[in-house]
Amino acid sequence: MSRITQHPILSIPKNRKTVKFTFNGRELEGIAGEPVASALIAQNITEFAIHPKGDTPQGLFCANGQCAHCTLIIDGIPQKSCVTPLQEGMQIQTLYHLPQIPDDRRPLHKVECPEFSCDVLVIGGGPSGLTATIELAQLGFKVILVDDKPQLGGKLLLQTHKFFGSIEDCYAGMRGIEIARQLDQAVRQLSKVTILTDTFVVGIYKDRKAGLFVHNKNYYLVSFEGLIVTPGAREKSLIFQGNHLPGVVGAGAFQTLVNRDLIRACQRVFIVGSGNVGLIAAYHALQAGIQVAGICDILPEVTGYQVHADKIKRMGVPLFLNHTILATEGQHKVEKVTIAAVNRDFQPILETAQSFAVDMLLIAVGLTPIDEFYEIARQFGFKVVKAGDADEIAEASSAMFGGRIAGLQMAKLLGHAVEIDEQFYQKAAILKSKPGKTYPREQVTLTEKFRPVIRCAQEIPCNPCTAVCPVHAIQLKPVQNNILDIPEYSGGCSGCMLCVLICPGLAITLARKIDEQFAEVVLPFEFIPDFAVGDFVPLTDWDGNFLEKGEVLRIRYNKKYLTYLIQVKTSLKNGTAVAGIQVQDSNQIKALPEPSFEYLPENGIVCHCELVTVKEIVDFIRKHDVRDVNQLKLIRVGMGACGGKNCLALLPRLFKEAGVDWQTVVPGTHRPLTVEVPMAAIINEDFEE
């Protein structure tokens, strides 16, 4: 593993301040202020803790402060390393079994508890939180916006790809990182907004106050009249043999390491889940110089946008549909992953097993809304609204629109005379739409004049190609009469190539006939070219199949769209078929000669904090006729450092396996504070502004 020194989309900061620290007595160097976990992973250190149960190694999983897998002893205190900034001289040690309580006999002094007040407290500075804040501040409300990261933008900061959706309503055709910058600038210009970054909201209290843990140091209180909950979602885990090994990470953690912290997190990754998150993560991996051995999904069809899947296949990444993960193996970290096909009942067919040599397994099997504060506030009778993934898991484009609606809804709750345009709800619903109907592929005949070849045949909310065309040569085929309709060429192309540059799915090429033997094709390319004019590059079709090697005629770079335009010469018969340039050599992603695994699903870990297995939980439910999740605390389920945030989402399936209807089960009680806060912070000992 190493740091990323060049990237086709991201700028690499120069002259970043470095600091020295020690890990288990060994002196190392990292970037000042980066998460401790990232600094260690950049040094090829992935094992952070040794669990007392079987001396099991543990490492990073979420990189979002939502679990405790990355806990280390930092300057004598156990801390989540993914949210602890690296500082000069830190002494960091592996957490071996249970931490010791520090011996601190210092007297208290300089104790304060700062209190703030506002009209509306917004929890979460992602796309929905930012747009909600803007709406409220423009209406004159005093807003405090709180986010647990050092920068505003949420998952937008991890998204280097261009957005789908509508140019008019949600920045379609623009990259997430740029959208984050624009929303951040817009919020900071509003005098009614107070921004608190690096700050966790740890509790909502009956006296209409919230507790804030600021900069991992101090405890503040803020009183509010209204509350908007937009903290996003947490990664879902998955149960399989070896799911506890360091190197098994959530998709968000991977994108955080690669796109935010600029760390090449592994050499070769395998991905479970073919939704947009998994597909996009594969693309991000390739852009960072990481090989992608494959993507598997238990379902028979890709669950994300087809254009995303097509793009990944053209790059040389295989998709294994109707397949499931059986196991990961390795000494102290992931070294091998094994998958197998499934039958109609989604049970693995073991004789179809294949093993791949990888050093990371990326889990992208869905998200769980972080909406606990909404439920608490609702029970207390507060004026509260939720938005973004906390309300419904969807694309960031819909989250931005949902945030605007949430801001206006809160204004109404607080007595402001505001009307919400019905079109807002209609547009939000369209932007949340799942992939729809797929149409037959268009047959194209080339002439001597350039024309677009469009490979977008599935109904998804997207219109950048039609909006950017200066001569209106691309129109949406009128079926639903909204942006879910697919684009089609209507004639009159001027050859400006803007549609090729702006398409989020890289699903448009320009092509023309040179003569009776050859064609010229213009391809979008979001990698740093390792070829030159005159070289021959491997070309693939719509489905990622190799067609031929084409001669590179011209290479151009567009600074606005951060995209290369590669003009290639191909045979005339393949002129309309060529869809992309293969990035990854198929020899690098072959399965191992023989599968290797021990299929023991009962031993899959459910509670990673306490290492409680499927068998232990199911047996306990059956033996004791469990009808209350809290009873499982007797076997330590939900008692670990994450507070049950991760394992509780997996319990419905286990109760079903034990023969218990989940609807009859009393839910687990959440802890009063959602994040661990040291006692010294709660009383603000040695308070610092």
CB count in 10 Å sphere of residue 491: 10
d(CA 653, CA 656): 5
Q: Label residue 165 left, alpha or beta by phi (over 0 means left) and psi (-120 to 50 means alpha).
A: left
Would you say residue 408 has pLDDT above 60?
yes
- Domain 2-99+237-363 and domain 115-233+369-431, same fold? Reply is yes
Per-residue pLDDT at 401: 86
Percent of the chain with pLDDT over 70: 98
Strand 508-513, strand 518-525: pairing: antiparallel
Do the Cβ atoms of 46 and 59 come closer than 8 Å? yes
Per-residue pLDDT at 689: 54
**Domain residues of the chain, as ranges?**
2-99+237-363, 115-233+369-431, 451-589, 614-664
d(CA 452, CA 128): 35
∠ Cα 131 133 134 (to 5°): 65
DSSP string, 96-126: ESSPPPP---PPP-S----EEE-SEEEE--S
Would you say residue 1 has pLDDT above 60?
no
User: What is 115-233+369-431's CATH number, 1.10.10.10, 3.40.50.720, 3.50.50.60, 3.40.30.10?
Assistant: 3.50.50.60
Per-residue pLDDT at 147: 96
Per-residue pLDDT at 203: 93
Report residue 626 CA to chain centroid gap. 35
Q: Which amino acid is at 208?
A: R
Do the Cβ atoms of 350 and 340 come closer than 8 Å? yes
Q: Which residues contact 270 (CB under 8 A, 6 or more apart)?
A: 292, 293, 294, 295, 296, 337, 339, 356, 358, 360, 361, 362
Would you say residue 682 has pLDDT above 90?
no
pLDDT digit string, tens, across residues 481-520:
999 999 999 999 999 999 999 999 999 999 999 999 999 9
Span 265-294, average pLDDT: 96
In the structure, what pLDDT confidence band is assigned to residue 103 with cuts at 50, 70 and 90? confident
Place of tokens 């687990």: 668
DSSP annotation of 666 reads B
pLDDT digit string, tens, across residues 282-341:
999 999 999 999 999 999 999 999 999 999 999 999 999 999 999 999 988 999 999 999
d(CA 501, CA 465): 9
Do the Cβ atoms of 158 and 255 come closer than 8 Å? yes
Would you say residue 225 has pLDDT above 60?
yes
Per-residue pLDDT at 309: 96
Do the Cβ atoms of 648 and 642 come closer than 8 Å? no
Full-model pTM: 0.92
In the structure, what pLDDT confidence band is assigned to residue 108 with cuts at 50, 70 and 90? low
In the structure, what pLDDT confidence band is assigned to residue 32 with cuts at 50, 70 and 90? very high
Per-residue pLDDT at 686: 59
Reduced to 3 states, what is the DSSP secondary structure of residue 311? helix
User: Containing H/E element for 178?
Assistant: helix 176-188
pLDDT digit string, tens, across residues 124-143:
999 999 999 999 999 999 99
CB-facing half-sphere around the CA of 567: CA atoms within 13 A: 15
Place of tokens 């003009």: 567
Phi, psi of 218 (to 5 degrees): -125, 160
User: Containing H/E element for 289?
Assistant: none
Reduced to 3 states, what is the DSSP secondary structure of residue 495? coil
Span 257-267, average pLDDT: 96
Per-residue pLDDT at 110: 65
What superfamily in CATH does domain 2-99+237-363 come from? FAD/NAD(P)-binding domain (3.50.50.60)
Q: Which of 108-122, 215-229, 464-478 has the lowest mean pLDDT?
A: 108-122
